[in-house]
Amino acid sequence: MTDQRTREAATETAHGSNHHAAAWEYAPAPEATDIVEIAPRQRLFIGGEFVDAHGRGRITSLNPATEEPLSEIQEADGEDVDRAVRAAEAAFRPWSRLRPALRARYVFRLSRLLQERSRELAVLESLDGGKPIKESRDVDLPLAAAHFFYYAGWADKLEWAFPNRRPRPLGVVGQIIPWNFPLLMLAWKIAPALAAGNTVVLKPAETTSLTALLFCDLCRQAELPPGVVNIVTGGPSTGSALVAHPGIAKVAFTGSTEVGKEIQRRLAGSGRRLTLELGGKAANIVFADAAIDQAVEGIVNGIYFNQGHVCCAGSRLLVQESIAPLLLDKLRRRLGTLRVGDPLDKNTDVGAINSRAQLERIESLVASGVEEGAELFQPECPLPDRGYWFRPTLFTNVAQSFRIAREEIFGPVLSVLTFRTPEEAVAKANNTAYGLSAGVWTEKGSRILWMAERMRVGVVWANTFNRFDPTAPFGGYRESGFGREGGLHGLEPYLGWG
Amino acid sequence: MDVRKTYKLYLNGAFVRSESQRTYEAQGMNVPRSTRKDVRDAVRAARAAFAGWSGRTAMNRGQVLYRAAEMLDARSAEVGRLEGVERGEVAQSVEALLWYAGLTDKLAQLGGTVNPVAGPYFTFSMPEPTGVVGIVAPERPALLGLVAPLAAVLSGGSTAVALASPALPLPALVLGEVLATSDLPAGAANLLTGRHREMLPTLAAHRDVNAVEVSGCDEEERRKVEEAAADSVTRVVATEPDQWLSPHTALAFMEVKTVWHPVGR
């Protein structure tokens, strides 16, 4: 019902204004999928081999664009996790004592293999997760390969990276990653861990495990010693078993703030190390003097990139009051040109929502926005009949107290608020428990730095948004987590001292 | 016959009794026994002081910490006579204040980076103070175990609410008098005495506390602090004594912010 209501409201709004601009007609440009062979049944990767899980649970991995099953993954139970941790423990001694330059070579190899097999991995990523192929191909894969290449180079320079601290690896690291950037998050986790001399047990998200399992084949090709990388698939119970395992020296988690808090509570008193990369509710702030067309592109990239399944998405647009009508006009027009649909089509801008559960969460939050009195706009783009889809959505007339302005939606939904002074923009931007990222658009350099200083977030994008690089530390303030990934700072959580 | 001093909390720049008017006897004196309300008041004061203290230049924070070292040194005879203060502890505490006075304007270069990203962007990362930090001082050394983490926290620009050693609270209360004459803005450091078990749960679970330094906690207390901290993703830091003079101790109470800007004509 709520969905229908939303759609009706959308149609009304779209019809009621002249902002809607039709996208050009493009012929479909589908990426071929024959390069990917997906086994009907997947297994766990432990000690360098694919093995059947002791756990009986099985999860069907769907293509969210068609709702057709792609494969079946196994749900690792406590015994499987224990087996994986033991394999990682056994591998730790030789791996951590390997001459650092040789450790670097393995990590370099993984980077090269990611480049060599990037087409295959990109197609699989889009099939399994629903993200547009142009994004898997141009963002996720190049960044994942770059991440391994960057950290490979640190492996034999740890003493220079941390002078006077006598760095040493920690042991077995337990890592849990989300479904929004499956392979890229794997790279963010595994690359620094291996470079520092740790061994890992990683659990991918249950809706997007396939590229992590294909990565195991890259480990084979790299002749990575067995047990250095172990992949256990499954849902929350698998993750919980991994976090609780006494053989784990450190936990690294990327996901929701809710689960992050649970993990932090779980590890209380254990003496084990923890880094958390959690949710966000980023403000994207546009001043009246901004280059407005660039800002519009930045806003669109900030919230509709990857269907808004981005922890640092610019989900709260703060516009200086004097330009709000003009900016919103341009924004609505631009929304009408976004192509929503087949992730494998090279023209697609917005792909499929990752899962039914996520679609329902987005729908319910959007319904709450309508109920609380916000004004909804959605372009009239055609959606495929099957699969999980959500139109790019824009809310105006939003108060800071509305759920859509406070809670992370993790979908293509933008809430627009206005401000008059820089002080008000800062106050509104910081009025959240999160603190992951923020954007600021202005042509005035001193104001950029003034704003950047005052926003309590880990990443500030000025006159740009959603840029990532292995050399640039990324992570949150406050309830967006602690610890950094990327750069020299991203190496530190994987090392002990003395 | 001596003129006896009534020892008071150092809260929001003022010397006050516990709001409850409770005291307990320690080191032969009646010492305030702070309540949960005192903790909340102290956190509020620390939060209010944060914008000002973190907004000072690093050089200015260094000057204030240097002044604190001067003031403590001037009182070294008085503090050294207090029961439980170990030989050399005052000198070491003065040393710690000096060490961090000289660190404030080094932190950005020790903990910051320029990031050579693969694209036309100028990108840098810099450490910034985390906000309000709770400090649990160890039983002993009651002075140095408080001064070192407090100086580390203040050097980076965070503000603090510190719980003094319950058995040896007097050094902390004299430290309050030192800080009050050091141009430290009101609320930047707040020193509470009393029973840790009465104050700790409120401090650890407080949503406006960004980090808690727990090296003064026993194992059970630490577990409880860590559990309560999870409710608002509060950072928990434990500083070993061999890290009392380390830039990494100061950086543990700082966040890293990365800023990107395009490069173009």
pLDDT in tens, chain A (498 residues): 344 444 444 444 444 444 445 557 789 999 999 999 999 999 999 999 999 999 999 999 999 999 999 999 999 999 999 999 999 999 999 999 999 999 999 999 999 999 999 999 999 999 999 999 999 999 999 999 999 999 999 999 999 999 999 999 999 999 999 999 999 999 999 999 999 999 999 999 999 999 999 999 999 999 999 999 999 999 999 999 999 999 999 999 999 999 999 999 999 999 999 999 999 999 999 999 999 999 999 999 999 999 999 999 999 999 999 999 999 999 999 999 999 999 999 999 999 999 999 999 999 999 999 999 999 999 998 899 999 999 999 999 999 999 999 999 999 999 999 999 999 999 999 999 999 999 999 999 999 999 999 999 999 999 999 999 999 999 999 999 999 999 999 999 999 998
Residue B163 forms beta bridges with which residues?
Answer: B136, B192
Residue spans of chain B under pLDDT 70: none
Nearest C-alpha of chain B: how many angstroms from A55?
30
Q: Residue A126 corresponds to which amino acid?
A: S
Q: What is the pLDDT of residues B114-150, one digit of tens each?
A: 999 999 999 999 999 999 999 999 999 999 999 999 9
pTM, two decimal places? 0.95
Active site residue A277: yes
Q: Select which of A75, A125, A277, A363 is catalytic.
A: A277
Rounded Cα distance, A481 and B75, in Å: 42
Q: Is A427 on the interface with B (CB under 8 A)?
A: no
Rounded Cα distance, A328 and A285, in Å: 13
Alpha helices in chain B (DSSP H): 36-55, 58-74, 76-81, 89-101, 107-111, 144-156, 170-180, 196-205, 219-229, 247-251
Q: Which residue of B has its CA nearest to A164?
A: B246
**pLDDT attached to residue A376:** 98
SS3 B146: helix
Q: Are strands A199-203 and A172-176 parallel, antiparallel or unpaired?
A: parallel
> Is A395 in contact with A414 (CB distance < 8 Å)?
yes
Angle, helices A100-116/A141-154, rounded to nearest 10 degrees: 170
**pLDDT attached to residue B180:** 98
Integer angstrom CA distances of residue B243 from A494, A497, B187, B215? 19, 11, 26, 11
Rounded Cα distance, A328 and B117, in Å: 32
B251: left (phi over 0), alpha (psi -120 to 50) or beta: alpha
Nearest C-alpha of chain A: how many angstroms from B111?
9
Q: Is B159 on the interface with A (CB under 8 A)?
A: no
Nearest C-alpha of chain B: how many angstroms from A487?
7
**Cα angle at A301 between A298 and A303, to 5 degrees?**
110
**pLDDT attached to residue A13:** 42
* Interface predicted TM-score (ipTM) of this complex, two decimals: 0.96
**pLDDT attached to residue A228:** 98
Other CB atoms within 10 Å distance of the CB of residue B28: 9
A456 contact residues in B (CB cutoff 8 A): 131
**pLDDT attached to residue A16:** 41
> Is A430 in contact with A455 (CB distance < 8 Å)?
yes
- pLDDT, chain B, mean: 97
**pLDDT attached to residue A23:** 59
Active site residue A79: no
Q: Which of B130, B233, B243, B255 to mutate to test the interface with A (most CBs of A within 10 A)?
A: B233
Do the chains contact at B233 and A478, CB–CB below 8 Å? yes
Task: Write phi, then psi, for A70 (nearest 5 degrees).
Answer: -100, -40
